[in-house]
Amino acid sequence: MKYRCDACGYVYDPKLGDPDSGIAPGTPFADLPSDWVCPLCGVGTDMFSPEE
């Protein structure tokens, strides 16, 4: 499942991960490190909502 940043609209896609932040492709949103932040606006995972 993809998650969208409520602040800026960035979409975290587990299939792609976030290689620029050291997050490997295939990493589920629930398994992101606690210090991971949106690569566009810097908010934490608590500001993301599941995308339907």
Residue 41 counted as an annotated binding residue: yes
38 is in an annotated binding site: yes
Residue 25 is labelled as binding a ligand: no
49: which residues sit within 8 A by CB, 6+ positions away? 3, 4, 6
For residue 32, the 8-state DSSP code is S
5 is in an annotated binding site: yes
Annotated binding site for Fe cation: 5, 8, 38, 41
Q: Which residues are annotated as a binding site?
A: 5, 8, 38, 41
